Amino acid sequence: MNSSIFQKSHVAVISGGADGVGLAAAKKFASMGMRIGIIDLNGEKISEALKELPESTLPFIVDVGDMQSLEKVKAEIVGRFGRIDVLMNNAGISYPTKSWGNFDNWQSIINTNFWGVVNSIHVFLPQLISQDHASLVVNTGSKQGITTPPGNPAYNASKAAVKVITEALEYQLRELSFEGGSRDKNNRISSHLLIPGFTYTGMVSSPQKPRSAWTPDQVIDFMLERIEQGDFYILCPDNDVTREMDNKRIAWAVGDIIEDRPPLSR
Ligand code: NAI
């Protein structure tokens, strides 16, 4: 484990932190003694989540598509805790349509899954860059952003963008510069793309947990293991044999991308 990042009293900010994968992350980081800020659109879910999180947790009923509200979140977290060590851009929605999807469908998915990540990077990255200690950015993508299965075009497009944004951020931090701060000269910020396997959460409509599904806790344990190993792509393999082809396509896509470029893992 990268002990400089996951230390007691360090601070994690997690969007979509009131349910599913985000809540599992919040609980895991809290169990390590870290202080937590959770951002979620759903106030009722936040109230429920707080029952499982330490009293020090800062809750924010905020839409990640709303940059001004995120600025207030940052000010409050930094004002209270003085630092941000882990930024997990995880809020996501999916409305499978079985068709191309109407404009509202596209707009709401892009607002959360795309703008949520871009807004959050603009708001929080300067804080991470300004700190003189190691920090971590995790963006939650999806296999659907790589394999483009039918029935969810806006979601596929949004998650393909999350993959590219995360790769671009990594290069920008290493090689060039970041608006609002200089480049991360000392490689203190490590960024990662989390691609969960099929995970049984509120986002999934099936009434019964499929045998092959991951639990949110399993995804987070896997994520921490891979961060420890320095992996940039954190790709949870599906253990369902019918998904074998998808897994191969994803491995190929990721392998192909890093082929002629400097490795994205440290
Ligand atoms: P979930 O539905 O259990 O949790 C998502 C949370 O995000 C909810 O609490 C929701 O209220 C919140 N949220 C939605 N829109 C928001 C917004 N605009 N601003 C702030 N919060 C918002 O979903 P789950 O499964 O935990 O998903 C987490 C991430 O993992 C998402 O980005 C999803 O696309 C991704 N993912 C999930 C997979 C799965 O099988 N469940 C597979 C691959 C990726």
Least confident of 87-91, 198-202, 243-247: 243-247
Using CA positions, which residue lies closest to atom 10 of ligand 1? Answer: 16
261 pLDDT higher than 70: no
More confident residue, 215 or 171: 215
Q: Which residues of 64-86 are buried (b: 16+ CB within 10 A; e: fewer)?
A: bbbeebbeebbeebbeebebbbb
Q: Is 18 in the pocket of ligand 1 (CB under 6 A)?
A: yes
**pTM, whole model, 2 decimals?**
0.92
Query: Does the C-beta of 17 come closer than 6 Å to ligand 1?
Result: no
Return the active site residues. 155
Evaluate: CB of 246 within 6 angstroms of ligand 1: no
Report the distance separating Cα 28 and Cα 37, nearest Å: 13
Exposure string over 175-191, b if 16+ CB within 10 A, otherwise e: eeebeeeeebeeebbbb
Q: How far is the CA of 24 from the centre of ligand 1 (A)?
A: 12
Q: Which domains does the chain have, with CATH numbers?
A: 11-259 (3.40.50.720)
* Stronger pLDDT, 227 or 134, i.e. the higher one: 227
Please give the pLDDT value at position 263. 41
Whole-number pLDDT of residue 6: 86
Res. 1 pLDDT band, cuts 50 70 90: very low
